[in-house]
Structure 1
């Protein structure tokens, strides 16, 4: 009998614990509740931008790795070893333990997740604050822009180019639902990812204003759309889209260094259509030449030829050389690095003009 009476209090205690432990967390707010407030939605959107342009993503690593993979850096100066993360990238031999690569992937998908949370809150009418109704569609368009750019820039690092076998080559997982969705997504094909990116950018460009401060504008979305079409080898649409931007009349600076000398000005200058806007003492991971690896000396002596031409070729003036060649592009400790500029748009327009089905040599 004593055993029976001993068990009964234990059972009562076990059941009563449920009511004690089953309480709402005080330090966490469910997504739906958090995003019912307009200021919280905009804060989430800003945090999506923050991840997009962080040092781990567009603020530094995507462009650094692009240079590294293009053989523009003297690989002899990059430390190679089983645990050297930069060397793994240079040798195209990265693994899941590479924390720098993981940083790129994680920053991109955090940006995507936050953009999706904003889109979800607006599409499901979760925002109870009616005073911001006029801003909701613009916020959604900005979130679509962030989501598209993050997917596309990941593709350029983690997938084959579109010119390979886009319908069968695997790209990256496409995430277009709020992170609360219980999904374990497989990698989509290259074609599927490009189609989603184009859909998002097209929708964003149709809503975003011509000017939007240091956030995404209609023309920033169009610029990325031109970049995507060009990478997709869709030269007709790349030509048309780039032409629209050129017709708008954005300036093309006479000095190629101007976009990289913004002196902390958050307003884009020198034909910059979208840029990283850092706060505090951050400068997007870019540093003067004394901190950089030198450019690779190509076998055909291209860099040497440029350098020897001196003032007769402006390209030579943006390098300095002792026994190596260093780019002076980032030599001003730039605070707000440009992401996409009019110079790229003009190049896309010109190259697409001669590559499209009906070449236009006049462009």
Structure 2
């Protein structure tokens, strides 16, 4: 790989990224900049770079196939052209098999891009301060989201007792490619994510012309998600509440065509009322609708009058997942939506011992999910273990969105919710026990060679 030799990639050369990011499978550092490229001169120029839909509105996707939501038949798994997908499904020691580590490279493309924007923006923001603040807010949001995604896949779950010593990821905060920071701790990565989000939340607007641009509620939703992973439930509840004040809408599933192959609007071209920020999970062969075959265990969780059973799944002898908030037959949803916020708030209330508030949020959500007239609201008298109920509904509602993997990692630290995963292939059971080192993805060999950082234990 040809490395850059300039002391700094000046923000004024940012248009080169349109070329670099198209070929960034070779790593998040690219080719030497061509100084003849057009120079951005206004916040609108930087905004156009953030609107690169195929860079910023994409989240990692291998965590879905690594979890317990899919049951992929042998002939389908063996036919995948991407070795990494099969290796993830079977939790192999070597995930990549010589292929590029897209799950690592993708977020670092976003980090690289945002760092150049953040470094270059101050030189031009005098022309439109309000627009410059908004652009800065978007860049900070996307950098935070990228690092949060990285630490979910390439580090242990956040544990307050060990986060300061658990290896995280490389924390790049400048666009100077000669700056070679080592591997930050998990705590340092989370601290940076929270710092970026705190500023982004203050800068982002309340509304945007497209669901693919982050707004204030998106930053609040990500803050709620981050604090949930950290086990700081009071803060997660507060941020979920703030986001719901701005974006409380739920779709009544009774208004959808449950027989449709793609029952949700084809977002973001057509607005989905629940979507706060549209991103899609990176497309792999498993994510094609007819290949996203769900686990019978997951399918069995839904009641007969629960519309999610027919709206999320094909209902055939082999069930595939069709309940995509992308409205696409190829892309799984990886963004932020209102339903997740109700579930975060319900979980946090349950953990605080406020069962009534937890069930109120759960009832609000489920009234919009069950056939009209069939849902019997939960009360503290009939709910049983409220936290278990909320976590079960979280699993059902947020299926195939890329959230289950991080939930498994954090819940494995609680004996009552820890789970051993089992995938069957070739007549053999492959298992992943709670706390297994394979819950942490290996860093691509190319990155180890370039940076010299330590490889994750497998």
Give the alignment's TM-score, normalised by structure 1: 0.75
* Structure-2 separation of matches of 1:316 and 1:39: 44
Structure 2 CA distance for partners of 1:265 and 1:126, relative to 1, 3 Å:
closer
* Structure-1 separation of matches of 2:126 and 2:217: 29
- Give a deviation string over 1:63-117, Cα, whole Å, max 9, x none: x4222121211144322999822111123333565535x1222121111111111
Question: Residue 229 of structure 1: SS of its match in structure 2?
Answer: helix
- Give a deviation string over 1:221-240, Cα, whole Å, max 9, x none: 11111111111111010011
Contact residue 209 and residue 218 of structure 1 kept, 8 A: yes
Q: Which residue, 28, 37, 56 being the options, matches 2:34?
A: 28
Structure 2 CA distance for partners of 1:328 and 1:256, relative to 1, 3 Å:
farther
* Structure-2 separation of matches of 1:145 and 1:305: 35
Q: Which residue, 215, 239, 242 being the options, matches 1:241?
A: 239
Confirm or deny that 1:266 pairs with 2:269: yes
* Structure-2 separation of matches of 1:334 and 1:323: 19
Which is worse superposed, 147-156 or 261-270?
Answer: 261-270
Confirm or deny that 1:107 pairs with 2:68: no
Confirm or deny that 1:323 pairs with 2:322: no
How many angstroms does 1:177 deviate by?
A: 0.8
Which ranges in structure 2 are unaligned for 5 or more consecutive residues? Answer: 1-31, 257-261, 358-458
* Structure-1 separation of matches of 2:127 and 2:177: 29
- Give a deviation string over 1:275-323, Cα, whole Å, max 9, x none: 0389xxx999896632x1311233xxx63464xx53x232322323443
* Structure-2 separation of matches of 1:119 and 1:257: 43
Contact residue 251 and residue 342 of structure 1 kept, 8 A: yes
* Structure-1 separation of matches of 2:39 and 2:350: 51
Structure 2 CA distance for partners of 1:266 and 1:83, relative to 1, 3 Å:
closer
Structure 2 CA distance for partners of 1:160 and 1:247, relative to 1, 3 Å:
same
- Name which structure has the greater RCO, CA cutoff 8 Å, separation 6+: 2
- Give a deviation string over 1:247-300, Cα, whole Å, max 9, x none: 33521112299696223553642211000389xxx999896632x1311233xx
* Structure-1 separation of matches of 2:313 and 2:330: 21
Structure 2 CA distance for partners of 1:252 and 1:236, relative to 1, 3 Å:
same
Structure 2 CA distance for partners of 1:239 and 1:332, relative to 1, 3 Å:
closer
* Structure-2 separation of matches of 1:256 and 1:52: 33
Structure with larger Rg: 1
Contact residue 148 and residue 198 of structure 1 kept, 8 A: yes
* Structure-2 separation of matches of 1:99 and 1:257: 44
Give the alignment's TM-score, normalised by structure 2: 0.60
Contact residue 292 and residue 321 of structure 2 kept, 8 A: no
Structure 2 CA distance for partners of 1:319 and 1:50, relative to 1, 3 Å:
closer
Confirm or deny that 1:192 pairs with 2:191: no
1 or 2, which has the higher helix percentage? 1
Q: Which residue, 145, 151, 154 being the options, matches 2:141?
A: 145
Residues 173-252 of structure 1 correspond to what in structure 2 (within 5 A)?
173-178=170-175, 180-214=176-210, 215-252=213-250
- Give a deviation string over 1:178-224, Cα, whole Å, max 9, x none: 1x241222221111111110111111001111002221101111111
* Structure-2 separation of matches of 1:27 and 1:242: 42
Contact residue 289 and residue 330 of structure 2 kept, 8 A: no
